[in-house]
Chains A and B, each alone.
Chain A
Amino acid sequence: MSNVLLEVRELTTKYVTRFREDVYAVDHVSLKVEEGKTLGIAGESGCGKSTLALSLMGYYFPPLHYISGDILINGKNISKMKPDDIRKSVLGNEIAYIPQAAMNALNPTRRIIHFIEDVMQAHELYITKKDIYNRARELFETLGLPEEVLHKYPVELSGGMKQRTVIAVSVLLLPKVLIADEPSSALDVTSQKMVIKMLRQLMEKGLISSLIFITHELPLLYNVTDDIMVMYAGQIVEKASSKDAVFDPLHPYAKGLMGSIIVPESGLRDVKLTAIPGVPPNLKNPPAGCRFAERCKYVRPDCRTSSVHLRDVNDTRTYRCILPENELRDIYAKEVAQNG
């Protein structure tokens, strides 16, 4: 068993809305990421996957608030640290983040190199501008980015270039874990491929040790990740190896999700397209029983009343349903038989 870089235990965070209502967008989530591995997080928009990404940083500001749980990076529990210590010694150094809208992630009125200076100086007080410049140039060279970019303003860069610049800046301080939140969703196909290639490069060149990749595009996840975690309504509903999660999902929601996506990969082509009807529950007042019950094809009366826990299938696989594995498989098999 290799070294666990990031371990999260029962993490719960909430949003406080304008009307002072609590929305528990991350509800008792536990996960582990090992060195050299990539974890994918999938789910519909609003399922809490982006909030989970923010929560993993351990650095909270309104409207997001920490409630309970632990985040351990390399065995060090950061959820008990002071915010300013986290800022100085964790953010960027241990764990870094690439936001969803990387297009707008750079201050439009600051040259890239000046922003890099701000980042470096926030962690190392006495570093000279020359050293910073050299380090930035080296990094850009390694990642195949032109040096001129350093002197430019974000508006002067193309979308793909901005994206790659943000990725480069994120790994400037050689973080162990990188969290990428839908880094490619706003890009054209070519730029998307570039970004994915670059993320792989980061791992290969040892700039980062593990990656958490969040997207709603499953084929992408299957290609990039080792494990996949499916979230629904702030909770984990299934966690499995990429192969199992995509080809053999157990949770009805995961199954529906895999079916709802247009899949170009050859092995997936015969999977039928079936969108999941309905909308996720309102997290201001989550339902008592299974949160997916309202949309589940296989719902039973108990689903709405009894609380539903994660069931472990084996060491690496778990899912959240009142039905045991064999019953679920029977149901799925019957359905396939009926549809021919």
Chain B
Amino acid sequence: MKQIIQQIFRSGKFIVGFSIFTTILLVVIVYPLLIPDPPLNIIGQGTFFEPGIYVSVFDSISSPQYTLNLDEAAAKRIASKLGEEDRLAIKEWLIASGIPEGEIEIENTEKLLDQWFENYDPAKNIPGMTNAKRNYFIRLNKAITGLLSDEGMSITVKNAETGVLEEKGTIVPSAYVNVNEVPNVRVLPLGTDNFGRDVLTELVAATRVSLQIGFVAGIIATLIGLTLGLLSGYVGGVVDDVIMFITNLFIVIPSFVLLILISFSIGQDQRGAFTIAMVIGFTSWVWTARAVRSQVISLRNRDHVNLSKLSGHSVVHIILTDILPYIASYVVMALILQISSGILAEAGLSILGLGPRTTEVPTLGLMMNWAMIYQAHILGKWWAYFPVIITIALITFSMNLMNTGLDQVFNPALRD
């Protein structure tokens, strides 16, 4: 046993797969201990907040202020405020004012603003300019001048009695707060989803549930497949014929179709994560049954089995001590494959809208489903779906690598 494990851990593929899988497992276990938020808590009002560090504006105002005189502060401020549309509008004005297009650099904020202040004249009329457009330019000019001014912003509070606004203080452009001193800062490494939920927390919880679904489905499928395979291979005769008929039937009838039919028939209310896992398990045992059967048949007439039969051991005893240990490696490999295909099956079902019911737990498939329904992929909200795809791929990839590694150890013919 020790030697086998040593051999397994000499396989590069197995080690890589095992490391990835263990890492995922560790994150799934440790993350909720550090951040115990409920995964489906809606924290964002609105959809798809970008990944980043969210600092409370309210708390920032009352936090200790420090003055930092940084040269590029103003330029940065304008650069971030000046959108693509504004820049294009400025360019339009400059061209109308007779500046050759080649001299306008739309991305160079400093140069663009210099040209703007030189050429802008609110009284000037560009032929064909609508009134709305003229007002837009006036507003734009005001905004830019405002951003460049050294004057601060006042903080006013409404007096509860008189209803008059009273100035409490001003904030100058050179005032800074230390993020560490702001009591409410929320890091959203993967932003929020369409419902305003923290994607990372949701993703970790979804990975856990999906793994659970995979394990339950895999164990059910492996148990059924193992039992049927053992029966069919060891007992033979009519039992074998019947079991093989059913197995071959379910190999050609796509299990995906069965999954759709059963899941739909169960109905939305009955579909918990566990139910889905069971349904997946009950529809995906065929390959294990076939593999186990052919292994058992090749073992059935080996000397040690015959010896055991002659010694009068019971069928159960023979199966447990003379057959199972020899097919254990195949069963483990089959289990690994079942788990990863179970996770994929859940994802597929969920995208079809047949996943587990939505109020309690997220799954990787459901996250994908939500992202697709809210068109995250078309809107460019990559954080809502890309981490999900990567997680699914990493799980199945790592399990497959482990499987290939095991296969190479146990079937030397496949070795490189």
Contacts and interface: CB of A to CB of B under 8 A. Distances in A.
Contacts of B416: 18
Nearest to B408: A18
A61 interface: no
B6 to A, nearest CB: 12
B124 interface: no
Contacts of A19: 10
Interface in B385-416: 415-416
A19 B10 CA distance: 9
Nearest to A17: B415
Nearest to A19: B10
Contacts of B10: 19
Contacts of B415: 18
A208 to B, nearest CB: 32
A18 B416 CA distance: 6
Nearest to B412: A18
Interface in B291-329: none
A215 B188 CA distance: 72
Contacts of A18: 415-416
Interface in A9-32: 18-19
Interface residues on A, range: under 10
Nearest to B10: A19
A123 to B, nearest CB: 31
A130 to B, nearest CB: 40
A241 B237 CA distance: 55
B157 to A, nearest CB: 75
A60 B119 CA distance: 83
A19 B409 CA distance: 12
A18 B10 CA distance: 11
Nearest to A18: B415
Nearest to B11: A18
A239 B10 CA distance: 41
Interface in A182-229: none
Interface string A300-312: 0000000000000
Nearest to B415: A18
B3 to A, nearest CB: 14
B192 to A, nearest CB: 49
A19 B408 CA distance: 13
B85 to A, nearest CB: 62
B383 to A, nearest CB: 42
Interface string B25-49: 0000000000000000000000000
A130 B61 CA distance: 100
Interface string B9-20: 010000000000
A19 B9 CA distance: 13
A19 B7 CA distance: 11
A326 to B, nearest CB: 45
A74 B354 CA distance: 77
Nearest to B416: A18
Interface in A41-93: none
A19 B412 CA distance: 13
B222 to A, nearest CB: 29
A284 to B, nearest CB: 14
B61 to A, nearest CB: 65
A18 B13 CA distance: 13
B415 to A, nearest CB: 5
B393 to A, nearest CB: 28
A18 B411 CA distance: 13
B14 to A, nearest CB: 13
A19 B416 CA distance: 10
Interface string B240-283: 00000000000000000000000000000000000000000000
A266 to B, nearest CB: 30
A69 B266 CA distance: 75
A126 to B, nearest CB: 39
A244 to B, nearest CB: 36
A163 to B, nearest CB: 23
A18 B415 CA distance: 7
A313 to B, nearest CB: 41
B168 to A, nearest CB: 74
A253 B415 CA distance: 33
A34 B145 CA distance: 107
B10 to A, nearest CB: 7
A18 B413 CA distance: 12
A79 to B, nearest CB: 28
B127 to A, nearest CB: 79
Interface string A80-112: 000000000000000000000000000000000
B386 to A, nearest CB: 37
A198 to B, nearest CB: 30
A279 B416 CA distance: 27
A324 B415 CA distance: 45
A15 to B, nearest CB: 13
A18 B414 CA distance: 11
B416 to A, nearest CB: 6
B13 to A, nearest CB: 12
A129 B10 CA distance: 51
A45 to B, nearest CB: 15
A47 B415 CA distance: 22
A74 to B, nearest CB: 37
Interface string B109-144: 000000000000000000000000000000000000
A19 B415 CA distance: 11
A18 B412 CA distance: 10
A18 B7 CA distance: 12
A55 to B, nearest CB: 22
A4 B415 CA distance: 41
Interchain residue pairs A-B with the least CB separation, the first 3? A18-B415, A18-B416, A19-B10
3 contacts: A18-B415, A18-B416, A19-B10
Interface of A: 18-19
